[in-house]
Structure 1
Amino acid sequence: MESESLLARITDYASRPDPYPLYAELRDAGPVVRQADGSHLIGGYHEIAALLHDPRMSTDPRTRGEVTHKPPFLRLDDPEHHRLRTLAMRPFGPPHSPGRVDSLRGEIDRITGELLESFEAGRQIDIVDDFAYPLPVTVICRLLGVPREDEPLFRAWSDALVTAADVRTEDDSTEMDKAGDQARIEMGGYLLHLAEQRRGHPGDDMLSAFANEPDPALRLTQEELAETAVLLLIAGHETTVNLITNGSLTLLRQPDQLDRLRREPELLPRAVEELLRYEPPVHMRERVPHADMDIAGTRVPQGASVILVLASGNRDPRRFHDPDRFDPTRPDNQHLGFGSGIHLCFGGPLARVEAYAALGALLPHLGTARLVEDPPPYRQNAMLRGPRHLPVRL
């Protein structure tokens, strides 16, 4: 089926506070909905899940000749993706071991406690600027070995890169793409310089581990190190900010569930999984077929843009009972909040630990807080959707 305006309406900033009615329209329109620009939208859970595991679908922008430099492993296909992702994971420790993420739990709790010291009764605070942003930024800076005082520098680069990576109705540009390319080069150079400073003088951080890898077979090239470090720094905080902020907003809007979590804090891990389904930090991912292929009865040509609307799949009534209801006890919650397949979110374990700590610490404050604006102002980005500010009165 073809719908000329659906993607434009979804990406329209006016839809940012509540895109879910448009996602329902997408699911009703058919398994595959072709847009006027030649892209194809897919909003059903089962179709999305199958395509996330389909090796015929590429994440590499070079498939369409869009870039000449090697992208980060998030946008590479196997076997390149597998090699770089494996090398990037080495400093975290062996798969399924406690590793570096668990070792950060104490520090995450400490940072959380310090941020909450300014939360005084009667004060208006911004959940984003005062809490949800500084927490994951401080953690990822500690993990990578990036000076926290350089945050204003990499925040500007991060904003430019995230803006350039957003889903757009036209592949036109220019100024956003140029700004993104420039930010990628500058940020990569900055992180390479930090890594070089650690060569021969390692600290307990990931840049030191990358720069001092003794085995040539396991060593990242300069280009690979720069791209990997940029990806880890951005992905290490952007999505977690949305997860914590969307979670806070959801609980403030649903005081009965908030009260329940305050009474039964043991439900918090399941509540975080439900938030990843109900209000995920990432709403869309793009794929490109390596060759012509049939998707749910629709012929999709090689090189076409296929936009998997993960947040729509998470609300698909064919997969989830009463999907528009937030239920922290929901059983069998195999959501798409972190994607699936070989590109399952690299930072998912860290994001979960941060969300448990953040929301658990916020619960006592949210119980007596009220929203100053509802809906709050949202970020421009349709793919990484979340409030830009979340002002509340304590």
Structure 2
Amino acid sequence: MTLGTLPAQITDYANRADPYPLYAELRRTPVRREADGTYLVSTYYEVRNLANDPRLSNDTSHRSPGYARIGQPNEETGLPPSFIFTDPPLHDRLRDTINRPFGPPHSPRFLDDLRGDLTKVVTELLDAFEGKDEVDIVDDFSYPLPVTAICKVLGVPREDEPRFHGWADALASSLDPQAGEDGLEKAQRARRELGTYLTDLIETKRRHPGPGMLSALAPEMTPADLEATAVLLLVAGHETTVNAITNTTLTLLRHPDVLARFQREPALAVPLIEEVLRYEPPVQFVPWATALADIDIADTTIPKGSPVWLMLAAANRDPKRFPDPDRFDPDRKDNEHLGFYTGIHYCFGAPLARMELHVAVAELFRRVTFSRLLEDPPPYRANAVLRGPRHLPVAIEGLTA
């Protein structure tokens, strides 16, 4: 993207703390063509319709050279693309297979059985706040929890969890359309290291099954497909949930009236979290789709072969869909947001993410007495796609049991 274009401004770190004025400008042209042939779709109904349109592809083989690196198979390992970067029927077969050990109807108690483990981790993380007057919500709370959850889902030994933190960070950088060569090389190196680790672990699980998805799926999938799936779940299950927990914390601390009400009314958690997912979604846009045919939408024709960015965060604040969209309102009705996307690529891990959010946020604000934000806005992560604070330093006054 050339400097000065709206996509360049959106991906520019200088605008990471508040990209929403740019999204408002973007919505003035619901389907906008950039000079390089990329189409940006930013209004709610257009984004939702295209996300459900089979003429829009996630298949990596259809991408133009400038987008080929995002989600592509690792040439050195020969791994296939993760199922999120495939189309039906392959996508449907892989997703259906992966879903069997993850939840209903085949494994209806899978997530409920995780709740106790997650609650224990949250309790341990909050216990460590004792005696402190300042904490970093990211480093001390929201960052450690999701990697523990996804390792538990996969069946990774607890002692290996610290290695997954670094791998998740590096791999997430490959989803950023503005990632430099250093970031992409770092991601490839992480994928090689993770691939070696997973190859050994999958073989171990195949010979000696235990708890977790890797054991359950080892007889159902090829080692390459299972490894690619595990890589995807690590990124999707970690980075997005870190951002969701941190964005929720920041939003509540910026809205003390809502926070006070939440502490009086714990049942507010459900609509409150859904409103955060609309208001500050952890995935801001999807920049890897390709038109398989000419698509007529909003008085515009997107030509076959064109790269398409679906701007989820812009759509979530479309005033034609959400009244007074820049207002944080947990009482909002009909809140069918796109925070977890929509269509066949709707977030596979949404039920797990919601459970992590409910456990983490409820306990955080039940036990911790906050004083103030120490930086507002806080420093943000470099990634424009998976947007969230890199640190969230806060002053606290106390901790209850």
Structure 1 length normalisation: TM-score? 0.92
* Offset from partner CA, 1:289-326 (integer Å, 9 cap, x none): 11222232222222221101100100010000111111
Distance 1:3 1:175 in 2: 20
Task: Say if 2:193 is the partner of 1:186.
Answer: yes
2:335 corresponds to 1:310: no
The count of residues paired between Structure 1 and Structure 2 equals 383
**1:3–1:34 CA contact under 8 A, matched in 2:** no
Q: Secondary structure in 2 aligned to 1:183?
A: helix
Shift of 1:96: 8.5
Q: 2:329 aligns with which of 327, 330, 333?
A: 327
The more displaced of 252-261 and 113-122 is 113-122
Instruction: State the alpha-carbon separation in 2 of the partners of residues 314 and 223 from structure 1.
Output: 36
Counterpart for residue 247 of structure 1: 248
**One-letter code aligned to 1:44:** T
Structure 2 gap ranges (5+) = 74-78, 397-401
For the aligned residue pairs, the C-alpha RMSD in angstroms reads: 2.0
- Is the deviation greater in 254-263 or in 363-372? 363-372
Q: Structure 1: which 5+ residue stretches go unaligned?
A: 214-218
Shifted more, 104-113 versus 9-18: the winner is 104-113
Query: Pairwise mapping of residues 23-172 of structure 1 onto structure 2 (< 5 A)?
Result: 23-28=23-28, 30-64=29-63, 66=68, 67=72, 70-95=80-105, 98-120=108-130, 122-168=132-178
C-alpha distance 35-210 of structure 1, shift in aligned 2 (>3 A) = same
2:105, 2:42 → 1: CA distance?
A: 32
- Contact 2:100 2:107 (8 Å CA) reproduced: no
Cα distance, 1:379–1:173 mapped onto 2, change above 3 Å: closer
Pick closer, same or farther for the CA change 1:3–1:288 going to 2, 3 Å.
farther
Q: Shift of the alpha carbon at 1:84?
A: 0.6
Q: Cα distance 1:173–1:234, how it changes in 2: closer, same or farther (>3 A)?
A: closer
Q: What is the TM-score when the length of structure 2 is the normalising length?
A: 0.91
Rounded to whole Å, the distance in 2 between the matches of 1:190 and 1:342 is 30
Partner of 2:362, secondary structure, is: helix
| Whole-angstrom distance in 2 between the partners of 1:234 and 1:36 | 31
| Residue of structure 1 equivalent to 2:267 | 266
SS for the counterpart of 1:36 is coil
Q: Secondary structure at the match of 1:306?
A: strand
Question: Relative to structure 2, which stretch is displaced further, 51-60 or 178-187?
Answer: 178-187
Deviation, 1:265, is 0.7
Which one-letter code corresponds to 1:370 in the other structure? R
Q: Is the 8 A contact 1:59 1:75 kept in 2?
A: yes
1:386 aligns with 2:388: yes
Paired residue secondary structure (2:207): coil
Secondary structure at the counterpart of residue 394 of structure 2: strand
Q: Counterpart in 2 of 1:216?
A: none
Report deviation, 1:366: 5.2
Q: Share of identical aligned residues, percent? A: 55
Tell me if the contact between 1:195 and 1:210 (Cα under 8 Å) persists in the aligned partners: no
Whole-angstrom CA distance in 2 between matches of 1:327 and 1:319: 14
- SS across alignment from 1:243: helix
